[in-house]
Every structure is written in C-alpha cells, then in structure tokens.
Amino acid sequence: MSFPWAEHYTPKHPFMRYMDEKLPLPRLVYNAVGAGYPVPRNLNYFWNFGVLAGAALAIQILTGIILAMHYAANGLVAFDSVEHIMRDVNQGWLLRYAHANGASMFFIVVYLHIFRGLYYGSYKAPREMVWLLGLVIFLLMMATAFMGYVLPWGQMSFWGAKVITGLFSAIPLVGTTIQEWLLGGFAPDNAALNRFFSLHYLLPFVIAAVIILHIWALHIPGSNNPTGVDVKGPQDTVPFHPYYTAKDGFGLGVFLLIFAILLFFAPNYLGHADNYIPANPLSTPAHIVPEWYFWPFYAILRAFTVDFILPAKLWGVLAMFAAILLLFFLPWLDRSPVRSGNYRPLFKKSFVVLVVDVLVLGYCGGAPAEEPYVMISQLAAAYYFAHFLIVLPIISKIEKPLPLPNSITEAVLKGKDGATLSTNAVAQPAE
Amino acid sequence: MATLDTTEPETGENGGEGIRRRDFINIAAVSFAGVGAVSLLYPIVNQMNPSADVLALASIEVDVSAIQPGQAIKTIFRKQPLFVRHLTPAEIAAADGVDAASLRDPQTLEERTKTGKKQWLITMGVCTHLGCVPLGAGEGEAKGEFGGYFCPCHGSHYDTAARIRKGPAPKNLEVPEYAFTSDTVVQVG
C-alpha cells in the first residue's frame, strides 16, 4: 500500500513492459524503495539506521559465507582454523575482522534504531506490528551473535557457551534436560560447536526473512516522522527515490567510514583478549564478560543475588528475558496518543533517564561482579523495569503534551521541531 | 482443485444435523496427519540430545597421595572439572563452625565427605549458577570471602566445604559418587 498520490510505475522499455506483464518484480521494487513510495519529507538522520542495519546484515552474510569456506567446526581444529584464516587465507585477516567488527556495528546501529523508535513513538498504532517484528529480529540477532562468538573456540567462546546454555538450566524440572539437549552433552564440546555452526549459518537467513515482513509491515502505514503527525497530503511527502536513497547513501558512507576506522586501526578494541586463548574446559578466565552488546542484559542477570520465593538464579534469568519481552508490550503500556517525544515534556525527561540507565547497566555488565557494581546494577535494573511498568503508564496519564503542528509541512516550514503556537493541536484526518 | 462442499446435509443414514461419516473421515485424516507430523518432529528434536559416544560415560581413578593439606587438584570427570581438595584442620574447623541449618543449601561437611575421610573434599568444579569453574583450587587463585571457592563469572562465594554462601548460585558444589578403593586412590563415578 502507499499513499494515493504515489507515482505509478510505467515501464517505457519494451522489455520492461513485457517483464511487468509476466513477473512485476521491477514494479515491486519501484513501489517499495523507488519513486512509487512517498515518505515524510522531514525525516532526520535518526531515520538512516534501518538501512544501515540492512547493510550490516548484508556485510555479515557475505563475510560469513566466505569465512565458512575456511572454517572447521571441530573442537580440535576450530581455533587453529581461525588462525589459518588470519595468516594464510588471502585477505583472511580482513574478512575475519570485518565479520567480528561487523557484528558490533550491526548492534550499534540496531540500538540506535531501537532508541529512535522509543523516542519518536514509532512503536505506537498503527505501527505495533513493525515494532513486534523488530523485536523478533533483535532476539534472533542476539542468538546468532552468541552462536557466532562460540565458533572460534577461544576461552570466551567456551565459557560463554557454558553460561548462556546454563541460563536454561535455571528452569525448574526440565532445565537441565534442555541444557543437555542444547549442548548435546554435559559441557560444551564438539557436539555443541558443530550444531552452533549449523544454526549460526541458518539464523541470518531467518533474520532476512523477518526483515522482509518488518519492511512490509512498515510500508502499510508508511514511515513515522520526527513530529509523529500523520501524513495528510502530497505536500508532506517526497518520493523515496531519489530523495531518501541519496540521504541513506550518504549515511551509508559515514557508516562505512567509521566501520573502516574500527576495522583497520582498532580491530580488537571491542573484543576480548581472552578469546585469543584456546578453550580450556578446566579454567574459567578470571574476568569473563560477554560481548559489549550484551552487557546491559548481563548486568540485569547478575543483579539478582538473594533468594526471594524463587532462587536468585531463576530470578536473574527471568529478569533478563523479561527485560526484552517487556518491550513487546510497550505499545500497550504507553497510552499517550502523542507519538513524538518532541511534544512530550515529561516523557522526554524520562527518556533521557532511561538512556542513562541503560548505559549504566551496560557499564556495570562489563565491570567485575563486585561492589559497588552489583548494587548499582540492582538499582539500574529496578529502574529499567519501573520505567516501562510504572513511569511510562503514569506519564501517559498525567502529561500535558505541547501543541502539535497541524501538519508535517507546517513543522518543516516553521522550524526544525515545528514548535508551533497553533491553537489547533488536534490532528486532522488524512484526506 | 478445491471445491466447495455445497451438498445439502444428508438426510439418509444419519438424519439431518448429526455427525456424518464424512466428518469422521475428515477428523481421522487430519488426526493421522498430525500423528505423522509429530513422529517426524521427534527425531528432528531428539538428534540434538547427547549421542551414544557422549553417553558412554566412564569412571576415573584419582591418586590423592601427593596432595598436601591445603592443596587441591583439578582433574576431568565426564568432560567437566573435578576438584579434589585436602583440607587443613583449620579449614575443617571453619566448615564445622557454621550452623548448617542457616545455609542456603543446608549440608554439613560430614555429609559432604566420606566417614573418616573428612579432610578429602571431592566436588565437581562446576559452579551451580551457570557452570563456570570456580577459582580456589589452583595455586594462588582467589578463594573468595569464605576461604573456599570463588566463581568469577557472577561472583558466587563457596566456603571450605564448597557450600554456597554468597552470590547467585542456588546449590552447593555437587559431590559426585565416589569411593576410596584404597587409602590413596579414589574411584569417581
């Protein structure tokens, strides 16, 4: 679907007309990302990150398929085969670092993408399905990244595999059975490494499939925009191509520049030195921490240190999963009819607190499990849940939003956030 | 091609609104398809369970004669680390000095060792939280706040009887099945 004023696909070349009658694939592309898809004219640079996430996935799939041509999923040789890639395979070092740092870049852009949605209310009606599918992608990404990190079979790989599958052992009654099923044994070994390789190959294609649904669901209502005001007419939109293909292209250039700096000058900055030590089932590294993109959730996991009705271990696991599952309910927890945080003074403050809170959680997750980090992560974890379950619902009840611009165009013409003095804050229905 | 079943309810054999034989065929066919699907699913799921070679577990023998009081060794039992620790009298006294009933997982040192062999603490080296190897068995490793083991992953502290005292782990370090076959040899498993 698109707005009624979307340009129509009219193939001029006879071959394209022939093609359009048999398999209208060019028409589909034209209507999805071409001139046939009108997009709000006021999108800022926070709207670049969807495309960047897509680019990051493409980089991961491409480099991943190449690495799998040289990697051997066997505990005896896995570590050596990665060193073989680094030393012997032509430009193997480049491809390996690109894949490893590509995962970090993927999570950076996805976190920015998520917080963009949180601030501008992109999860609210009519875009709930876009949000839910996005969270599914996020869960799949985390599973994929986890299994990929196991493959080099270094110390962090091995102990990460042990701890993450150990999460499932906290489930009462069936927990240990599930863990043994996941590992194919009683501790990580060949069986685990071999299946993680298979699934690490599979999941990116599942992600790609869900991304298609994500984009499909987005294209039904069309993109949200910084004002959160609905598109009302042709003056509010520009065609996706060439306006946003160009802007996204520029964003992609910046993304690749940062990626290149990381890749060529600090390829190990975001990694862990301990993963250059081959897996040793008899010794856990003294400062085992997951990859940075798991730190906030890791901090929540270990914030639970005392038994309270349920064992502390189960609480930690429940809380960690709940921290993400909670987001699935966000569209129904935040009842404010105003989408954009720009017009919500209380929400804006709470949003800043949430961002700081998540950063604090991330910092604590990377720190050793000692005081004061345990106490700080307990407080920060408590606030994280309070934000979504208490603060947001209350704010959406008591908050008095600022007047909204009458339209996207008005916001654009009056200034960057459309701080209008209009008395008519009620959104007009789309024509 | 699918066709809509527009025939009138049969009035013959079953009479009007009752269950027709065709309804039974429908339910039976779908049920059998369901049984078939589940029986296909079973091997797809079950192939990931531990395979025969992994399940072919063996027991091990450990010679403890060289372990001095205060020392511990790490060895492998069923692909997981096993700690064999020779407790000093001070460590035994520290473990006995605790009221077992006040612990998260109440057990006395007596219950965790063999009769007359109270100085030999043999446990799995697997933290009961998420499975890391606690520190404390190796030379110079941190033993935690209670002089036993300290798990670096999430900060669980175990005492000199390897009982959980602090942190997220729910249980004491597991004591595997073992027996002394002589004064210096332990058979585990």
In this complex, do B51 and A311 lie within 8 Å of one another by their Cβ atoms? Answer: no
Interface confidence (ipTM) of the complex: 0.80
| pLDDT tops 90 at residue B119 | no
Q: Which strand (E) or helix (H) includes residue B185? A: strand B185-188
| pLDDT tops 90 at residue B104 | no
B38-64 residue pLDDT tens:
999 999 999 999 998 888 877 888 888
- Residues of chain A found within 8 Å of residue B167, distances taken between Cβ atoms: 305, 312, 369
Which candidate, B65, B89, B77, B91, places its Cα nearest to that of B143? B91
How sure is the predictor about A431, in pLDDT bands with cuts at 50, 70 and 90? very low
Whether B154 is a known active-site residue: answer yes
Cβ-Cβ contacts under 8 Å for B94 (sequence gap 6 or more): B146, B147, B159, B160
Domain ranges of chain B: 9-49, 54-188
Which candidate, A146, A128, A248, A244, places its Cα nearest to that of A195? A146
A135-158 residue pLDDT tens:
999 999 999 999 999 999 999 999
Catalytic residue among A124, A162, A219, A272: A219
A-B CB pairs within 8 A amount to 105
Mean pLDDT of chain B: 85
Which candidate, A14, A205, A225, places its Cα nearest to that of A116? A225
In this complex, do B168 and A159 lie within 8 Å of one another by their Cβ atoms? Answer: no
Please give the annotated binding residues of A for a ubiquinone, written as ranges: 219
Task: Please report how many Cα atoms fall inside a 13 Å half-sphere around the Cα of residue B52, on the Cβ side.
Answer: 0
* CA–CA separation, A213 and A109 (whole Å): 19
* CA–CA separation, B97 and B103 (whole Å): 12
| pLDDT tops 80 at residue A26 | yes
By C-alpha distance, the chain B residue nearest A155 is B132
In this complex, do B155 and A369 lie within 8 Å of one another by their Cβ atoms? Answer: yes
Mean pLDDT of chain A: 92
Instruction: Please tell me the CATH superfamily of domain A47-288, with its number.
Output: Cytochrome Bc1 Complex; Chain C (1.20.810.10)
What pLDDT, on the 0 to 100 scale, is given for residue A304?
82
In this complex, do B153 and A288 lie within 8 Å of one another by their Cβ atoms? Answer: yes
Q: Which CATH architecture has domain B54-188?
A: 3-layer Sandwich (2.102)
Within chain A, all domains assigned CATH 1.20.810.10 are found at 47-288
By C-alpha distance, the chain A residue nearest B141 is A286
- Residues of chain B found within 8 Å of residue A286, distances taken between Cβ atoms: 135, 142, 152
Tell me the mean pLDDT in the region A338-354. Answer: 96
Please give the annotated binding residues of A for heme b, written as ranges: 99, 113, 200, 214
